[in-house]
Amino acid sequence: MDARSIIQSVRDGKSLSADQAQWFARGLADGSVSDAQAGAFAMAVLLKGIGTEGRVALTQAMRDSGEVLRWDMPGPVIDKHSTGGVGDSVSLLLAPALAACGCYVPMISGRGLGHTGGTLDKMEAIPGYDATPGIGALRKVVAEVGCAIVGATGEIAPADKRLYGIRDISGTVESIDLITASILSKKLAAGLEGLTLDVKVGSGAFMARPEDAKALAQSLVATANGAGCKTTALITDMDQPLGHSAGNALEVIEVMETLTGTGVNEALWDVTAALGGEALVLAGLAKDAVEGTARIDEVLSNGRAVEVFGKMVAALGGPSDFVERFLDRLPSAPVIRAVEAPRAGFVSRIDTRAVGEAVVHLGGGRLVGTDKINPSVGLWEIVALGEDMAAGEPLVTIHAANDRDADAAEAALLAAIELSDEAPEEPPLIHERIGPEDVQ
């Protein structure tokens, strides 16, 4: 067996066997497969596809290319993954909420990608927080606190890390087979018993069209269950930012206001509770999603979730008084400017991708991989679809490092937010649920 024969097999539409996948993943991890061969493989997968069995084989092979965690906990090991959105800070709410319900949550997360925010970047807005502490610390914090939001180390799915970079330069990023294997290889390497997926759809999602989002959700659910991890997915709306903020420190403030009850964002809460309800069913801690959602509502309301969040922050190097003094502990931007509505009318459309890109250009994301993020910048109090605005009323408040950046963001946001004389039909928060029974 060699790289050439495997590439030819996939190119000729013969899918990918478990043995072939294991060989190729080992070659990606140890460097014996060249960049040219990896690019040819990715292109063959994009053009021909590898089917459910091939996706399962590739996912398991990339998972097994590095360390696979094993847990011996007194409760179920559960996680959640989002395909990426704008103003989407669900992970920061859900990890401690699930832990408060009796789950153990080793949430291995990523950084911002394109116009979407990254969970690790948000956590690193907290002074002292170590988002890449290594596997030993991950194990310790999960055991003691119940959850840890951290980044993957080089020991987790190294084959995926290599192929991920190749996909970007070989024009194969959009392959659902490769997206599926990439997401799940890292998640399954965490040793999960159950996984709930948040697949975004709309103007701010990577899968903007409903049919594409559904195809990805079905691929993820079928592959994860085929690889032995109980998984369901919710397709949720990204035709507007989920939260009222976008930007790292600002999203942490919104999370803390929600956790402490001082400023609850209902949409953010509802998506968190729905995903958590599904996760608790997978964990065997709720008989159905209705009961599970009610349990998440309870721990978000009664302070148990924020207590866990505070312990996690302290355990990973952040301030021990973060819950009590989060506004003092987080960085703030020097320039704060309201963007005023140019006319009266209803908010009829939001180009959510453009909103996310405005945050990136403010310095809240990366234009190239080496860019350093400014955690203080972003957008606050973003309007929602259907809001009735008076002329001159704020559409959003920009937090910027300087006036030049604020000027550019203001122009971009005025182009991204449309007003009309009639109220639009508001999209549902949750479009569809995809379970194992839907992909057989």
| Residue 91 designated active-site | no
Catalytic residue among 9, 15, 59, 82: 82
| Residue 48 designated active-site | no
Catalytic residue among 48, 55, 65, 79: 79
**Are the C-beta atoms of residues 315 and 145 closer than 8 Å to each other?**
yes
Task: Please state, in angstroms and rounded to a whole number, the distance separating the CA atoms of residues 201 and 188.
Answer: 24
Catalytic residue among 89, 91, 180, 182: 182
| Residue 421 designated active-site | no
Catalytic residue among 55, 115, 122, 167: 167
Contacts of 87 (CB under 8 A, 6+ apart): 117, 241, 242, 243, 244, 245, 246, 251, 355, 382
| Residue 119 designated active-site | yes
Contacts of 152 (CB under 8 A, 6+ apart): 108, 110, 161, 186
- The candidate with the shortest Cα–Cα distance to 385, out of 197, 240, 195, 262, is 240
- The candidate with the shortest Cα–Cα distance to 235, out of 436, 433, 437, 440, is 433
| Residue 167 designated active-site | yes
Task: Please state, in angstroms and rounded to a whole number, the distance separating the CA atoms of residues 326 and 6.
Answer: 53
| Residue 230 designated active-site | no
Catalytic residue among 115, 122, 162, 187: 187
Task: Please state, in angstroms and rounded to a whole number, the distance separating the CA atoms of residues 65 and 62.
Answer: 5
| Residue 79 designated active-site | yes
Catalytic residue among 55, 63, 186, 230: 186
| Residue 82 designated active-site | yes
Catalytic residue among 119, 180, 203, 232: 119
Catalytic residue among 63, 81, 111, 161: 81
Which are the catalytic amino acids? 79-82, 119, 167, 182, 186-187
